Amino acid sequence: MLRTPTGGAGHGTATPDERAMSIGTVLLQLRDEFPEVTISKIRFLEAEGLIEPQRTPSGYRKFSTADVGRLAQVLRMQRDHYLPLKVIREHLDALARGEQATLPPGAGQGELTDGRRDQEAGGVTAARIGRSELLAAAEATEDQLDEWESYGLIVPTPEGSYEAEAVTVARLVADLGRFGLEPRHLRPVRAAAEREAGLVEQVVAPLRRHRNPQTRAHAEATARELAELSVRLHAALVQTALKVRFH
């Protein structure tokens, strides 16, 4: 498990005897808690001023333990509180200066705003957020969200709110956009996801219709496990295909 400082120490400052880490090592340390983090995401957070790793004379990044701790804090605040990067940076910088900074309210805390609500359905809590909260969490514009919706990458509920997973989807679509992949290029990915979801549904549908509540609860756990296995298989197949093409 990743151990991170709670604040007070500045980022980018390593003690003389501290072992500096490469960006690849940092990625491995973060992956357990943040499986979706990528090297490009770490570089993006650096470009946004969230971390300031030292550089070797040849230009390679070298991260201290404090850098990794700050990175984990940033990712945690994005995931748990849906806060914009500017707010996260200001909050962490205040902590680094020794100030008693209170975490500002975001989409994940405080009063429910802009259509966000928790709905109890069969004991399962479904968190939803509003449009403005999704835009803030994904750091996207109205035009970008409109385009993502037009290609079915982000789908609002009939009430106009969004499932919490839409934040993850929006961030990933934005990350891919920095490599020149536009929403229209991602239609095959969406289609593949819908087919995989259909396969999962075929397996768990009989369990969901069962009279026994425990069996219906088991259906949800089974769906999550199948979804995880499907994602892992998809990633492995993509990696294999790329190796075949590059050799």
Enclosing domain of residue 146:
109-181
Total domains in the chain come to: 3
161 & 173 share domain: yes
209 & 196 share domain: yes
Report the distance separating Cα 107 and Cα 85, nearest Å.
13
128 & 82 share domain: no
* Interacting residues of 91 by C-beta distance below 8 A, sequence separation 6+: 77, 83, 101, 103, 104
Is residue 4 in some structural domain?
A: no
Report the distance separating Cα 7 and Cα 100, nearest Å.
10
What pLDDT, in 10s, does the model give residues 85-141?
Answer: 778 888 888 888 888 767 665 544 443 333 333 333 333 334 678 888 888 878 888
* Interacting residues of 45 by C-beta distance below 8 A, sequence separation 6+: 51, 71, 74, 85
Residues in the chain: 247
pLDDT above 70: percentage of residues in the chain:
81
Question: Which of 181, 209, 230 corresponds to the end of one domain?
Answer: 181
Q: Is 163 helix (H, G, I), strand (E, B) or coil?
A: strand
* 53 vs 243, higher pLDDT: 53
* 82 vs 241, higher pLDDT: 241
Q: Check whether 213 has a pLDDT greater than 70.
A: yes
In eight-state DSSP terms, residue 184 is: G
Q: Check whether 73 has a pLDDT greater than 50.
A: yes
175 & 195 share domain: no
pTM value is 0.50
Q: Check whether 30 has a pLDDT greater than 70.
A: yes
For tokens 């980018």, what's the residue? 12
Report the distance separating Cα 221 and Cα 232, nearest Å.
17
Compute how many other C-beta atoms are within 10 angstroms of the C-beta atom of residue 140: 20
Quick one: pLDDT at residue 127?
60
Quick one: pLDDT at residue 18?
56
What pLDDT, in 10s, does the model give residues 224-243?
Answer: 888 888 888 888 888 898 88
* 117 vs 217, higher pLDDT: 217
Is residue 10 in some structural domain?
A: no
121 & 156 share domain: yes
Tell me what the mean pLDDT of segment 16-37 comes to: 81
143 & 162 share domain: yes
Is residue 145 in some structural domain?
A: yes
Question: Which of 156, 181, 206 corresponds to the end of one domain?
Answer: 181
Question: Which of 65, 96, 127 corresponds to the end of one domain?
Answer: 96
The region that residue 111 occupies, defined by phi over 0 for left and psi between -120 and 50 for alpha, beta otherwise, is beta
Is residue 3 in some structural domain?
A: no
Q: Check whether 182 has a pLDDT greater than 50.
A: yes
| CA-CA-CA-CA torsion sign (92, 94, 99, 102) | negative
198 & 244 share domain: yes
DSSP H helical ranges for 22-154: 23-31, 39-47, 65-81, 85-96, 131-138, 142-150
CATH of the domain at 81: 1.10.1660.10
